[in-house]
């Protein structure tokens, strides 16, 4: 049983649970810009933090995660720290999005942008050589992808399999729909571009008369991704009241909400308020409201 089969099997079983039980919260909190926590501790040659800086980043982010957990209903399983600009820990963030997104298997083949592309040329050359060694020494299993559903059918009752098959076909016909939200300057665009290794396919369009922008992306691994870039919050009470109506209209229709927070700040009051609002809206709509 190869890794692809294991991944799909796990995701499809999770989908059955979502259909028979209350769906998990479709929210991921991303603590971005962790490279700014220890700006003098970043090894530019390797494009990675030093060991000391990595420990400080982990310590600081664990404190933030603990605080968010105490002041909101969000689970630590919905929070991850990273740096979009440095492409640091994007795999960890992607794992969170797959685990918490509705029909997360649709993001199962996504690969984030390569962090070593930002390292020195000799480091890139070494990494590429090591990757080629690993590929050449790995066993190749042919046509496993095409057999996945057939294999799953043999493992579970027919009724469960038909439920899986129906949802699988329904969801794979639709591109993943992700809402991205956060204060201005937290790195939402860089996060989307590097997390999904995506390229903008069409010019952004507004949703009705609101300031939310719908962006269609093509993924490096194939397929499309719909991203709704929501207006930033926390600038004024009047704007926040206006934007709340936009958020309430759009968020329930999405497969995932990615809330980006700046990790090197000390003021999380607006972020905590927004987490609580989104949590409430998603609990009221445990599955995406397809339009």
Kindly report which listed range (53-67, 139-153, 158-172, 218-232) carries the lowest average pLDDT score: 139-153
Mean per-residue pLDDT for 197-221? 76
> Which pTM was predicted?
0.81
- Please name the residue ranges forming H helices in 173-224: 188-195
Name 110's Cβ contacts closer than 8 Å, sequence gap at least 6: 94, 196, 197, 219, 221
- Dist CA 278 CA 93 (whole Å): 19
Kindly report which listed range (108-122, 150-164, 259-273, 275-289) carries the lowest average pLDDT score: 150-164
Q: pLDDT value at position 261?
A: 97
Distance (Å) of CA 68 to CA 35, 46, 72, 111, 191: 20, 31, 6, 28, 21
Q: pLDDT value at position 175?
A: 86
What does the domain layout of the chain look like in residue ranges? 25-114+175-284
What is the pLDDT confidence band of residue 21, given thresholds at 50, 70 and 90? very low
- Dist CA 42 CA 49 (whole Å): 4
What is the pLDDT confidence band of residue 17, given thresholds at 50, 70 and 90? very low
Reply yes or no on whether the pLDDT at 34 is more than 80.
Answer: yes
- Dist CA 223 CA 107 (whole Å): 10
The upper half-sphere exposure of residue 112, i.e. CA atoms within 13 Å in the direction of its Cβ, equals 25
Q: State CA 235 to chain mean position distance.
A: 25
Mean pLDDT, the chain, integer: 83
Distance (Å) of CA 74 to CA 68, 105, 143, 195: 7, 22, 40, 22
Assign domain 25-114+175-284 to its CATH architecture. Answer: 3-Layer(aba) Sandwich (3.40)
Sort strands 177-182 and 256-262 into parallel, antiparallel or unpaired. Answer: parallel
Block residue for tokens 């699988």:
168
- Dist CA 275 CA 73 (whole Å): 8
Q: pLDDT value at position 287?
A: 86
Q: pLDDT value at position 203?
A: 66
Name the residue with higher pLDDT: 71 or 12: 71
Beta partners for 206?
213
Highest-confidence range of 114-128, 208-222, 253-267, by mean pLDDT? 253-267
Please state, for a pLDDT cut of 70, what percent of the chain lies above it: 78
Q: pLDDT value at position 108?
A: 78
Name the residue with higher pLDDT: 61 or 241: 61
């Amino acid at each position: 049983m190869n890794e692809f089969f294991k991944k799909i099997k796990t995701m499809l079983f999770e989908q059955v649970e979502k259909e028979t039980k209350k769906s998990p919260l479709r929210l991921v909190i991303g603590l971005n810009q962790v490279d700014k926590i220890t700006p003098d501790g970043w090894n530019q040659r390797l494009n990675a933090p030093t060991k000391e800086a990595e420990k400080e980043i982990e310590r600081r982010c664990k404190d933030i995660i603990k605080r968010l957990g105490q002041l909101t209903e969000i689970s630590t399983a919905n929070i991850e720290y990273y740096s979009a600009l440095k492409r640091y820990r994007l795999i960890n963030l992607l794992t969170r999005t797959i685990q918490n997104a509705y029909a997360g298997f649709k993001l199962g083949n996504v690969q984030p942008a390569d962090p070593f592309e930002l390292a020195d040329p000799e480091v890139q050359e070494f990494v590429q050589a090591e990757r080629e060694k690993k590929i050449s020494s790995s066993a190749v299993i042919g046509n496993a992808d095409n057999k996945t559903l057939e294999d799953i059918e043999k493992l579970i009752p027919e009724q469960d399999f038909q439920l899986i098959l129906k949802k699988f076909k329904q969801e794979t016909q639709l591109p993943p729909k992700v809402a991205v939200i956060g204060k201005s300057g937290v790195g939402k665009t860089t996060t989307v571009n590097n997390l999904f290794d995506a390229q903008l396919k069409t010019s952004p369009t507004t949703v009705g008369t609101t300031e939310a922008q719908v962006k269609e992306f093509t993924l490096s691994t194939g397929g499309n991704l719909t991203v709704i870039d929501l207006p930033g919050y926390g600038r004024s009470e009047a704007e926040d009241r206006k934007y709340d109506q936009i958020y309430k209209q759009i968020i329930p229709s999405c497969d995932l909400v990615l809330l980006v927070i700046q990790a090197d700040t000390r003021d999380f009051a607006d972020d905590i308020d927004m987490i609580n609002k989104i949590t409430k809206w998603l609990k009221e709509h445990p599955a995406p409201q397809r339009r």
